[in-house]
Amino acid sequence: MRLGFVVKPLVRPELKSHDSRRWQNHPHLSVSLAYLRDVFAYLGEAQISMYRMSSDLAPYVTHPEMPEFHGQVAECAAELAEIGRQARQLGLRLSFHPAQHVVLNSPDDALAGKSAGDLNTLAALLDGMELGPEAVVVTHLGGVYGDREAALARFATNFEHLAEITQRRLALEHDDTRFGVADIMWVHARTGIRLVFDNLHHRLYNPGDRTPREALAACLATWPAGVWPKVHFSSPRTEWLVETAGADEAPQVRRTRWAYHADYVNPFEFIDFLRMAQGLRAFDIMLEVRAKDLALQQLREDLSRFAPDLAETLMG
């Protein structure tokens, strides 16, 4: 089992995940890939073998009013092949997870088309790196828009119009308020898309009352034989949140929102999750926590102390 973290290393804060300069400064995918090589070197040193890359690797690449940025993937073919070779040499499992503005099931044709373009680009980056089928682009279903059945059907229809490389690379995750595991299972039955189980989302939104083991098993079964599934794991944030409305107003303590990700992984929740999953198909875990690689390192230590038998199953 591999453990991964999201985008920005905190153990090495000087490392950059992508070229974040504004368009006036001519950012480029080639700069992002140079940064990524340094991140990969750190991952190798830290024995971390799973990593979610920034979805902004190619800045402004699909911006409709900036055609000068549209050719970055083709321009960096050699660099992409080389960074992919480095990833394979290190045994890294890589993925993307685009931002919330990527909504494939939008009834707005322009937004759905822009979302399809973003997904196609991310899939093209993975293909340019010549990565295997475990490297995926994870997305959500999107909005309900007043008609759940129509929203589900629209996602499936738009999926079928994506580029072939994108259909191969895309994976679908349920969310915490709109679409549960039963919904993404419906989409899988129609399209064959792979499914990503999220433990916290399932706790927050489970209208079908599936047990976590049942829901996890259903998602794992959608991955082809020989391809390791991946799941997302996070603990809910339980700390008080202090918000300041203005300079002249007193800070306000807000009630917690269980959908917020904690800084670190609760090790006892994680241990219970792994023990619950014993006997099911093996999978990798992306940690969606605010402390990122710091949390991954802490979790390794916690498992070694509290569940050494599970610690032995980790690959990094």
Question: d(Cα 176, Cα 174) in Å, to the nearest integer?
Answer: 7
Is the four-CA dihedral 214, 216, 221, 226 of positive or negative sign? Answer: negative
Place of tokens 């402004």: 60
Least confident of 118-132, 158-172, 248-262: 248-262
> What is the average per-residue pLDDT within 25-34?
96
Task: List alpha helices for 130-279, DSSP H.
Answer: 148-160, 164-169, 181-191, 199-204, 212-220, 267-277
Is there a contact between 283 and 220 (Cβ–Cβ < 8 Å)? yes
User: Residue 316's pLDDT band (boundaries 50, 70, 90)?
Assistant: low
State the pLDDT at residue 241: 67
Return the number of other C-beta atoms located less than 10 Å from residue 18's C-beta. Answer: 22
Instruction: Name which residue leads in pLDDT, 186 or 240.
Output: 186
- Please state, rounded to an integer, the average pLDDT across all residues of the chain: 94
User: Residue 168's pLDDT band (boundaries 50, 70, 90)?
Assistant: very high
User: Residue 283's pLDDT band (boundaries 50, 70, 90)?
Assistant: very high
Pairing assessment for the beta strands 241-243 and 252-254 based on DSSP bridges: antiparallel
Question: Can you name the CATH fold of 3-311?
Answer: TIM Barrel (3.20.20)
Locate 232 and state its tokens: 């997302």
Mention every residue, 6+ apart, whose C-beta is less than 8 A from residue 81: 128, 129, 130
Please state the pTM of the whole predicted model.
0.93
State the pLDDT at residue 246: 63
State the pLDDT at residue 239: 73
State the pLDDT at residue 237: 84
- Domain chopping of the chain, boundaries: 3-311
Instruction: Name which residue leads in pLDDT, 189 or 208.
Output: 189
Question: d(Cα 170, Cα 142) in Å, to the nearest integer?
Answer: 14
> What is the average per-residue pLDDT within 93-98?
98
Is there a contact between 27 and 59 (Cβ–Cβ < 8 Å)? yes
